Amino acid sequence: MSQIPPAFRALDNRANPRPDWQEYWPIREFLLHEALDEQAYYGFLSPRFTEKTGLDSAALMKFLRETPDDIDVVTISPQADMGAFFLNVFEQNETFDPGFARVAQEFINTLGMDIELDNLLMDSRHIVFSNYLFAKPKFWREWLKVNESLFTLCETGPSTWLKDALLAPTTYRDNLQRKVFLSERIASLLLATQPWKVRCYSTFQCSWSSSRLGDLKEEAILSDALKIAMSAAGQPEYRAAFARLRRRLLEQPLPALTA
């Protein structure tokens, strides 16, 4: 608490009544119970924000002050390699938690969203890890609506295949349940499928993952550029080049995330 910069408000979750939901619980409590200024940006940053992004409070506030008023969402996402080498954030997590993509697709189907995760293309303009984003209330309401559907599914009703799959433990820190990793990916889902105005701090300036992909910085930049080209032009040569590059880099399996 003593390390919180003066410009920031402490979102005190020291009691941590629902550790199984990680940061979703305190963010949820804030969004459900606080009056929000429709023109203000709200962001929820963990204590490791500066470590993961390289931005201290002064640099962060400068970047936010320079953001045009018509921007809806500002993203500051670490781990560029975890975004660049995969078609989207759902496929990325599938690599570390086999079966995750199917669970995510089944959940999205319950929402009535016409989205096929196998074909959903995301690049650095859409991907945000650790929920490191600043957004106006209209975005947070959409984010909360989807996450509350996830929360309700996990918290109420009888046991179903989908509910049990969402509550399944993973190998990540203290065996966090799968629902946490799906919740963290909702922001990226909304940014990739809805027409928000977004400003992105360069993910390549933030910290990289501790996996072997984190050492492949040049390849990550090229991979992300290919995905942007795929989105803009749709040329099959871009998709083929992306597939070849990724196949070469991922030919050795990645270990499960443990911390």
pLDDT of residue 186: 98
Q: Decide if 52 is inside a domain.
A: yes
Query: Helical H runs in 88-216?
Result: 89-96, 100-110, 137-155, 161-166, 178-184, 186-193
Q: Which domain holds residue 162?
A: 19-249
The model's pTM is 0.94
Q: Decide if 164 is inside a domain.
A: yes
Q: Decide if 174 is inside a domain.
A: yes
Separation between Cα atoms, residue 207 and residue 230, nearest integer Å: 26
CA 200, chain centre distance (Å): 13
Separation between Cα atoms, residue 26 and residue 49, nearest integer Å: 16
Task: Identify the weakest region by mean pLDDT among 58-62, 73-77, 196-200, 253-257.
Answer: 253-257
Separation between Cα atoms, residue 76 and residue 78, nearest integer Å: 7
Q: Decide if 225 is inside a domain.
A: yes
Check whether 255 has a pLDDT greater than 80.
Answer: no
Question: What is the band of 253 on the pLDDT scale with cuts at 50, 70, 90?
Answer: low
Q: Decide if 210 is inside a domain.
A: yes
Check whether 259 has a pLDDT greater than 70.
Answer: no
Among 53-62, 141-150, 165-174, top mean pLDDT goes to 141-150
- Percent with pLDDT over 90 in the chain: 84
Q: Decide if 69 is inside a domain.
A: yes
Q: What is the mean pLDDT of residues 44-59?
A: 93
DSSP state of 255: P
pLDDT of residue 173: 83
Check whether 192 has a pLDDT greater than 80.
Answer: yes
Q: What is the mean pLDDT of residues 190-208?
A: 98
Question: What is the band of 256 on the pLDDT scale with cuts at 50, 70, 90?
Answer: low
Residues 6+ apart with CB under 8 A from 130: 46, 49, 52, 77, 78, 184
pLDDT of residue 235: 85
Task: Identify the weakest region by mean pLDDT among 1-10, 24-33, 81-90, 149-158.
Answer: 1-10
Q: What is the mean pLDDT of residues 68-92?
A: 97
Check whether 157 has a pLDDT greater than 70.
Answer: yes
Question: What is the domain count for the chain?
Answer: 1
pLDDT of residue 257: 45
Q: Decide if 190 is inside a domain.
A: yes
Check whether 93 has a pLDDT greater than 80.
Answer: yes
pLDDT of residue 184: 98
Q: What is the mean pLDDT of residues 23-29?
A: 97
Q: What is the mean pLDDT of residues 219-234?
A: 94
Q: In what order do the strands lie in the sheet with 42-43?
A: 42-43, 133-135, 73-75, 198-200
Both tokens of residue 56?
């201290």
Residue of 241, 211, 210 whose CA lies nearest to 224: 241
Q: Decide if 77 is inside a domain.
A: yes
